[in-house]
Amino acid sequence: MNLLDTARVVASLREAGHEQVQRAEQADMVLVNTCTVTSESERKSRRAVRSAQRDGQRVAVFGCGPRAHGEAWKQAVGGAQICGSEAELLSLFGAKPAPRASITTLPTRLLVPIQYGCDNGCTFCATRLARGAHRTVPREEVLETVRAFADSGGGEVVLSGINLAAWGCSISTHPWESELASLLTAILEQTTIERIRLSSLGPEYLDPRFFKVFRDERICDHLHLSVQSGSFPVLQAMGRNYTVQDVEEIARQARRVRPDTAITADFIVGFPGETEEYFLQTLELVERVQFARLHVFPFSPREATAAYSYPDQVSEEDKRRRTSLLTELGHACSARFHRSQQGKTVRALKLADGTSLTSHGLRLRTTTGRQGQWVQVRIEQKDIVSG
C-alpha cells in the first residue's frame, strides 16, 4: 500500500504542474513516505529524513509514521514538515488528489485500491492505528478504474488493500460477509482486463465462492497469504481469526482448481510466548504446504499495541536465529518451486525494466517483445530474477 500511496501523491503533484526529479539535490523539497510495520522500518524512514536534512534539503514526511505517531515524529526530526494525511501534504503544493485512473506504477500495470483500513485488532499491528477503520471502495468505482485501464491497453491490474479480502464486509471482523468473489466475477464479466493479480490475503476470508472464481485463468494463479505463524497458540495470541488447518485447506483448494498455484506467505517469528516447539510447528507447516516463497519478519514490539507489553518476550538472539532458520527454509522452498517450473513455456507481461512477469509472480530476463506486450517465455533457472 505504501507504493500505491506514493504513486497517488506523485500523480496528484504532476497534475498540479510539479515535476518529479531523479536526484534529491535537484529537488525543491524531498518527500519521504514512511512505514511503521516494524521498529526497523520506522528507523530506516527516520534515517532517510535525517540524511536529506544533512544535505540541506527541505523535507516533508507523510505515511503511516506521522499518521500513527505524529508527535513522536515531530520530536524525532525537527525542522521537517510532518504531514498527518496526504491532503495535508498536497496542500503544501496547492494540489488536490488525482483521479484514481491516473495512478499507475508502470504503463502496463495498475495498482487498484479496493479497500482501506482494518478493524481486526491483531495484537502486534500498528498499521491499523495509522490506516483507520475498514472501508470498501464501491464496486462501480473499482470497475470504472479497471475498465478505463483495460480500454487504454493496460495488461494487468493489482487489486490492493490493507485487508484486501475483506472487500464487501460491513466490518472486517465479519469474514463471512466478504464479497471479494463477486467483485472478481464482475471484473471478469464487465471488463476486458487480461490479468488480475491479488495482493496479500487474509486466510479467514477465502471461502468456496472464492475458489469457484479462482478457476478463471485471467486471475493470477498466485496467492499471497498473511499466515504469520504455524502454531495455533501463537495465532490466538496474535489475535488472528483462523487456524493452521484453515491455511492448509486453502492450499488444497487452490491447487485442486489450479494445480500449479504459487502460494507465498508472510511469517512473524519470535512473537511473545513462541516456544521452540511452537516455532518448530511453523517450520513443519511450511514444509507441508510447500510455499513458493516466504517473507519472514522478526517480531518488532510497537507501542500502543497489546503485544508490546506481553510477558514471555523472546530474546533478540532467539529472534535472529529463528529468522535465519525460517528464511533459509524459505530459500529452499523458492528453489524447489523454481525447479518445478523449469522448462515450462508460459505467457508473461513485458515490463519497463526489460523483464517479463508471469502469472505466478516470477520475473524473468527476456529478450523478446516490447514493454506492454504479452510474450511466450520458456522458464529457465538462469533467467529468474525474482519470485
**Three-state helix/strand/coil letters over 109-158:** EEEEEEEECCCCCCCCCCHHHHHCCCEECCHHHHHHHHHHHHHCCCCEEE
Residues 292 and 151 in one domain: yes
Residues 351 and 251 in one domain: no
**pLDDT score for 239:** 97
Number of structural domains in the chain: 3
Residues 330 and 361 in one domain: no
Residues 145 and 227 in one domain: yes
Extract the C-alpha cell encoding 121. Answer: 485488532
Residues 211 and 150 in one domain: yes
Residues 184 and 330 in one domain: yes
**pLDDT score for 1:** 63
Residues 336 and 349 in one domain: no
Residues 292 and 152 in one domain: yes
The residues, any chain, with a CB within 8 Å of residue 44's CB and separated by 6 or more, are 35
**pLDDT score for 104:** 52
CA-wise closest residue to 25 among 62, 60, 5, 54: 54
Give exposure, 291-309, as e/b (b: 16+ Cβ within 10 Å).
bbbbebbbbbbbeebbbee
φ, ψ for residue 328 (rounded to 5)? -60, -40
Q: What are the angstrom distances between the C-alpha of 379 and each of 168, 372, 373?
A: 38, 19, 17
pLDDT per residue, tens digit, the chain (387 aa), is 666 678 778 888 888 889 888 888 888 899 999 877 667 777 888 888 888 888 888 899 888 788 877 778 888 888 888 888 888 888 888 888 766 544 555 468 999 999 999 999 899 998 777 778 999 999 999 999 999 999 988 999 999 999 999 999 999 999 999 999 999 999 999 999 999 999 999 999 999 999 999 999 999 999 999 999 999 999 999 999 999 999 999 999 999 999 999 999 999 999 999 999 999 999 999 999 999 999 999 999 988 899 999 999 999 999 999 999 999 999 999 999 999 999 999 999 999 899 999 999 999 999 999 999 999 999 999 999 988
Other Cβ atoms within 10 Å of 9 Cβ, number = 25
Extract the C-alpha cell encoding 183. Answer: 467483485
Domain range enclosing 291: 100-341
| pTM listed for this prediction | 0.81
Residues 258 and 333 in one domain: yes
Domain boundary (34, 63, 91) is at 91
H or E stretch at 345: strand 345-350
One-letter amino acid identity for 11?
A
Q: At what angle do helices 276-289 and 244-257 cross, to 10 degrees?
A: 10
CA-wise closest residue to 228 among 159, 125, 302, 308: 125
Residues 142 and 12 in one domain: no
| End-to-end Cα distance, the chain | 19
Residues 132 and 171 in one domain: yes
Rounded Cα–Cα distance for residues 326 and 173 (Å): 29
Residue with cell 522478526: 298
Residues 214 and 251 in one domain: yes
CA-wise closest residue to 264 among 232, 229, 222, 230: 222
In 214-315, alpha helices (H)? 232-238, 244-257, 276-289
Q: 3-state class of 178 per DSSP?
A: coil
Q: 3-state class of 278 per DSSP?
A: helix
Q: What is the CATH number of the domain that holds 239?
A: 3.80.30.20
